[in-house]
Amino acid sequence: YQLYLNASNTKASVESYAGVRNRLVLTLPAGIFRVTGTIYIPSYATLVGAGSQKTIISYTGTGPAIQFIDDTSTPLAGVTPANYVSATTSSTLYTTQPRNIAIKGITFVTNSSNQTCIQLDAVRDSVFEDISVEGQYNGIYNANSKGITMTAVSSLVTCERNIFSRVKISGFTFGVYAKEDIKTNT
């Protein structure tokens, strides 16, 4: 359970031998994984499934199913499963923002028509490939129903240079909701 952000390990974002050694790939086989809490993903994390509609993460919690956290984030002591303390988005710097993340071959399913599935807060230089994002849109407008949300801190600390390839979004009021200085995402 704390594969990427573990208090006893050097963070993968640290440019050192120990940091680089902790840049791990989590491979998820085909199957349905039921998750009740937000999955927090830091810099240099790689999640690889067997393919969209083969590896399915079924989310039944509140808040975003997936949220990216900056390099100042730490696990809360004594909390199982871990929750994370992160600097507020407004204090994230270019050097600490979430980056170099890869997610491939996974379907994310939410159980509500009132939530964001994937929350990219100032994420940069990352790859999202063969992803399916599925919500529970019920035909009624809901401002909180967002497949993918992209936000920025400023024009310098923004959600940028991310590559989205073969991404399918369905079942949300907004497929992609981009706010603030979002730029050069493909």
Mean pLDDT of the chain: 87
Average pLDDT of span 153-177: 95
Q: What is the pLDDT of residues 40-69, one digit of tens each?
A: 888 889 999 999 999 999 999 988 999 998
| pLDDT confidence band for 1 (50 / 70 / 90) | very low
CA distances from 16 to 8, 72, 99, 145, 146 (A): 15, 17, 17, 40, 37
pLDDT score at 148: 97
| pLDDT confidence band for 13 (50 / 70 / 90) | confident
Answer yes or no: are the C-beta atoms of 12 and 42 closer than 8 Å.
yes
Q: Is 91's pLDDT higher than 90? A: no
pLDDT score at 94: 87
pLDDT score at 103: 97
Pairing of strands 84-85, 74-75: antiparallel
pLDDT score at 23: 74
Q: Is 87's pLDDT higher than 50? A: no
Q: Is 173's pLDDT higher than 70? A: yes
Q: What is the pLDDT of residues 99-151, one digit of tens each?
A: 999 999 999 999 988 899 999 999 999 999 999 999 999 889 999 999 999 99
The H or E element that residue 18 is part of is: helix 17-21
pLDDT score at 17: 77
**How many angstroms separate the CA atoms of 2 and 148, rounded?**
24
Two structure tokens written together for 113: 């028509």
